[in-house]
Amino acid sequence: MCGIAGFFHTSGAGPAGNRMAAQARAMAAALHHRGPDANGAWSDEEAGVALGHARLSIIDLSPAGAQPMVSSCGRFVIVYNGEIYNADELKRDLATAGRTEFRGHSDTEAVLESCAAFGVRATLEKSVGMFALALWDRRDRCLTLARDRLGIKPLYWGEQNGVLLFASELKALVGHPAFRAEIDRNALAAYLRYNYVPAPASIYKGIGKLEPGCLVVQKLGDPARIERYWDLRRIARDGQANPLALTDADATDKAEALLRDAVGRRMISDVPLGAFLSGGIDSSLVVALMQAQSERPVRTFSIGFAEAAFNEAPHAARVAQHLGTAHTELTVTPDQARDVIPQLAEMYDEPFADSSQIPTFLVSQLTRQHVTVALSGDGGDEVFAGYTRYPWGELLRRRTGSVPRPLRLAAARLLGGLSEDNWDRLLSPLPAGWLPSHPGQKVRKLADVLSLPDDMSLYRRLVSAWGAPEKMVSGSRETPTAAWDDTVADDVPQFLERMQLLDTLTYLPDDILAKVDRASMAVGLEARVPLLDHRVVEFAWQLPRAMRLRGNQGKWLLRQVLYRYVPRGLIERPKMGFGIPVGQWLRGPLRDWAEDLLSRHALEDSGLLDADVVRDAWRRHLSGNRNMATEIWTILMFQAWHRHWMTEASQAA
């Protein structure tokens, strides 16, 4: 795992005197946390291109794996972030083309030589892994940028002042003289809805995120061309139209073989390796398949909290004991968790407000003390229908669709008449298995969605923090995402599957994977996600719904595989999530910090947010009548980001 950065003067030569190499090296230095083992740069002043790289050595620790790397034919230069798990297969293909000599055994070299022999697109289409790369063609003076199929690895890019800039993180772009730090109000409005800035936008005008499964081709003097080499919408459409005809036993056998291979490939490493373990379905399955393929106890890591509602550590410990892993657990104090907050604006260098970023960083920090690579269970919920909002959302759509709107509005007013805390108390006598986590919050969402007109509006509300963000940001028009594209219904007519698809296109890469990438890379830890092997994703979309969701139980097929390794009694419990008690903290120990960022002066100083709306939400949260922790946290993370990065940008200017 590494960090990449660079630039291309699209109209011709850049500054002479090795200044371009120095600029690329400085950009890579801003990514030192991603690649603390080495820093390299390559430039061609006449062509106007420079590439920078910060290296975290995982495969081939020798200088033979150093980047930027020049192909054996001398034509291509690459900087690359990620891991290709079938590099040996790429090398076998190269051998048939007569390329049998390699300087080392890094996957970087396999990718580079494959691009030189077979082309970039052909190489990407046969690669299994996670990656973001930049490839310079010295002969044709052409730069290609590419990102993996599911968006596991990040890649920002855009043209400013005649220079195409790219990097793994925005902080690497800030120091380049062509970069201009102007906030995109439309992207800010979208951020307020989703808690993250959705692709293809970024928080800055002129800079965006390359979408998963895409590549960019930029030739000298030509406009950039974006191509899609892997299309999840097409895969979902075709898979649902032609489902596999498998018995339950056959499907379980096939899933186990595919997942075992995906996990096994991700255990290849020249440095110590372990896994995150929460004790839930996904992480337990990954660890079980690791342990089944390991001759020694797998290193597993989890964190716990004093608050029982947020503490998964005992569940993880029981799974670890059953599987025989070498388990390490850290009980995090509230002070330790709160101490992370001042680091978040630097770590997530565009606004990002998923509060599970804090425990994700803490478990990454713990894990990095012992290993350099960790496998994670992320992706199972999106791919195998694990979120409770899937069956709940479809039930809502069915039940409310036939009810006249005036009746729905009346029901919404009735449900909204009690605070979330009062609903929690009212529903507390019911058996735990009957209730989702935070039932009062779910009732409030139910009240909110009862009056919505259609499926896509319902989906957007289910995933929204602020429901009308354009009213919060003056002069904005919310950047649309796939969630606004009604044609998605043509590809995937069933609402539940459509929610899965939309989550995999948006929430997964822009929230879940971005969170894990920044938190793990902040401490120089490589996180690998076997459940997002594209072969697993393609297989899942070919399954009938009942093999993903049976009754109201999501991830049905993953559970069947896991039961072969872990007794169901150890893992069957209500879904908890991976969070912290933000709402309580904002009324208590974080109140002074929040008051500073949410003061009228601070809000008006940015000139971007409606101070009256924010202050009213803050007062309502403090009163206890409504838990607005999600909405408030979204504002706080933007305010903290703005104070950190825009102040720095104005000083640099």
Q: Which residues of 187-204 are buried (b: 16+ CB within 10 A; e: fewer)?
A: bbbbbbbbbbbbbbbbbb
Beta-carbon contacts of residue 178 (< 8 Å; ≥ 6 apart): 7, 160, 161, 162, 163, 165
Residues 481, 456: Cα–Cα separation, whole Å: 12
Q: Starting from the edge strand earliest in sequence, which strands make up the sheet with 299-305, in order? A: 326-332, 299-305, 273-276, 373-375, 526-528
187, 197 contact by CB (below 8 A):
yes
Q: Which amino acid, 496?
A: L
Quickly list DSSP for 424-480: HHHHTTS-GGGS-SSHHHHHHHHHHHTT--SHHHHHHHHT-SSS-GGGTBTT--PPP
Q: Say which residue the tokens 């970024």 belong to.
A: 202
Residues 490, 514: Cα–Cα separation, whole Å: 29
Residues 453, 404: Cα–Cα separation, whole Å: 11
Positions marked catalytic: 2
> What's the DSSP call for residue 297?
P
Residues 6, 532: Cα–Cα separation, whole Å: 28
614, 636 contact by CB (below 8 A):
no
Q: Report whether the peptide linkage leading into residue 223 is cis, meaning its omega lies within 30 degrees of zero.
A: no
Beta-carbon contacts of residue 386 (< 8 Å; ≥ 6 apart): 281, 282, 380, 554, 555, 558, 575
Neighbours of 552 (CB within 10 A): 10
